[in-house]
Structure 1
Amino acid sequence: MTDPVSRTILLLDIERYSDRDDVEQAYLRRMLYDVTDRALESAGIDETLRLRADRGDSVMELIDANSSVPALLRALLTSVPAQLRAVNRMASSSAQIRLRGVVASGYVAIDEHGWVGSDLNHACRLLDAGLLRAALRERRDDFALCVSEGVYTGIVRHDHTGVPAADFHEVTVDSKNGPLKAWLHGPVPEGAAGPRNHSGTGAGGAPVPGASGDGPAPGRTSPSTPPAGGVVFNFNGGAPSFGGSLVGGDQHGVSGGQVTGDVYLGGTGGDAA
Structure 2
Amino acid sequence: MPPAIRRLCLVVDIEAYSALDHQAQHQAQARLARALTAAVRAAGVPHSPLRRGVIRQNRGDGQLVLLPAGIDEARAISGLVRGLAEAMMGVNAEAPRLRLRAALAQGVVQVAATGYVGKSIVDACRLVDSAALREALAAAPERDVAVAFTDDLFRDVVIHGFGGLVGSDFRQVDVVEERKGFAIAAWVSRPDLVPTAPPAEPRRRWSGRAVAVIVTALMVLGAAAAWSLTHGGGKAEVVTASSPTGGPEARPKPPERFTFFDTGVQLDRCVELRGSGLVPPGHELRLYAEAGEFFYLTLLPAEVDRDTGTWTFPQVIFGPTPKAGVPITLYIALIPERESRRLTDNFDNQYAFRELPRRVVATHTFRRSADNGPC
Cα pair 2:174 2:185 within 8 Å, conserved:
yes
Query: Residue 185 of structure 1: CA displacement?
Result: 2.4
2:139 aligned with 1:138: yes
Q: What is the Cα deviation at residue 79 of structure 1?
A: 2.4
**So what's the TM-score if we normalise by structure 2?**
0.48
Change (3 A) 1:116 1:77: closer
Task: Give me the whole-angstrom Cα distance separating, in 1, the residues matched to 2:23 and 2:73.
Answer: 35
Asked whether the 8 Å contact 1:169–1:188 carries over to 2, the reply is no
**Is 2:181 the partner of 1:163?**
no
User: In structure 2, what is the equivalent of residue 118 of structure 1?
Assistant: 119
Q: CA deviation at 1:48?
A: 1.0
CA distance in 1, matches of 2:115, 2:66: 12
**Partner secondary structure for residue 185 of structure 2:** strand
> What SS is found at the alignment partner of 1:67?
coil
**Residue type matched to 2:54 in 1?**
R
CA distance in 1: counterparts of 2:82 and 2:56, whole angstroms? 22
**Cross-structure match for 1:3:** 3
For residue 181 of structure 2, the aligned residue among 172, 177, 193 is 177
User: Aligned pair in 2 of structure 1 residues 55, 23: CA closer, same or farther (>3 Å)?
Assistant: same
The superposition leaves residues 149-202 of structure 1 with CA deviations (integer Å, 9 ceiling, x where unpaired) of 12112111212241112212111100222421011122379xxxxxxxxxxxxx
Task: For residue 91 of structure 1, report the CA deviation from its aligned partner.
Answer: 2.2
Give CA deviations for 1:193-241 in whole Å, capped at 9, x if unaligned: xxxxxxxxxxxxxxxxxxxxxxxxxxxxxxxxxxxxxxxxxxxxxxxxx
Q: Following superposition of structure 1 onto structure 2, how do residues 258-269 of structure 1 map, counting pairs within 5 Å?
A: 260=372
For the Cα contact (< 8 Å) 2:78–2:162, is it kept in 1?
no
Partner of 2:45: 45
Residue range with higher mean Cα deviation, 62-71 or 144-153: 62-71
Q: Any residues of structure 2 matched to 1:53-72 within 5 Å, and which?
A: 53-72=57-76
Match of 1:32 in 2: 32
Q: Name the CA shift for 1:62/1:91 in 2 (closer, same or farther; >3 Å).
A: same
Match of 1:75?
Answer: 79
Number of the residue aligned with 1:106: 107
Shift of 1:57: 0.6
Corresponding position of 2:308: none
Distance in 2, matches of 1:111 and 1:122, equals 17
Matches of 2:86 and 2:166, distance apart in 1: 18
Task: Quote how far apart the aligned CAs of 1:259 are.
Answer: 8.6
Residue 146 of structure 2 aligns with an amino acid whose one-letter code is: A
SS at match of 1:56: coil
**Structure 1 pair 16/259, CA: closer, same or farther in 2 (3 Å)?**
farther
Q: Is the 8 A contact 2:12 2:103 kept in 1?
A: yes
The secondary structure found in structure 2 opposite 1:64 is: coil
> Counterparts of 1:63 and 1:137 in 2: how far apart (Å)?
28
Quick one: distance in 1 between partners of 2:373 and 2:86? 36
Contact 2:110 2:116 in 1 (8 A): yes
The unaligned stretches of length 5 or more in structure 2 are 194-268, 272-369
Aligned residue for 2:123, secondary structure, equals: helix
Task: Pick closer, same or farther for the CA change 1:112–1:166 going to 2, 3 Å.
Answer: same
Cα distance, 1:108–1:142 mapped onto 2, change above 3 Å: same
Q: By how many angstroms is 1:113 displaced? A: 2.5
C-alpha separation in 1, matches of 2:19 and 2:54: 30
CA drift of 1:15 comes to 0.7
Segments of 5+ residues of structure 1 without an aligned counterpart are 190-249, 253-257, 264-273
Residue by residue over 1:55-93, the C-alpha shift from the partner in whole angstroms, topping out at 9 and shown as x without a partner, is 1210111111312222223223322222222332x323x
3-state SS of 1:174 partner: strand
Identify the residue that residue 234 of structure 1 maps to in structure 2: none
| Identity between Structure 1 and Structure 2 (%) | 28
More displaced 10-residue stretch of structure 1: 159-168 or 4-13: 159-168
TM-score, normalised relative to structure 1: 0.65
2-structure distance, mates of 1:43, 1:262: 22
Structure 1 distance, partners of 2:184, 2:270, is 30
After superposition, the Cα gap between the structure-2 partners of 1:10 and 1:131, relative to the gap in structure 1 and judged at 3 Å, is same
Task: Tell me, yes or no, if the aligned pair for 1:29 and 1:57 is still in contact at 8 Å.
Answer: yes
| Counterpart among 125, 136, 149 of residue 147 in structure 1 | 149
Which amino acid letter does the alignment assign opposite residue 17 of structure 1?
Y
Relative contact order (C-alpha < 8 Å, sep 6+): which is higher? 1
How many angstroms does 1:261 deviate by? Answer: 5.7
Give the equivalent residue in structure 2 for 1:242: none
Give the structure 1 partner of residue 235 of structure 2.
none
Output the CA distance in 2 between the equivalents of 1:149 and 1:19: 32
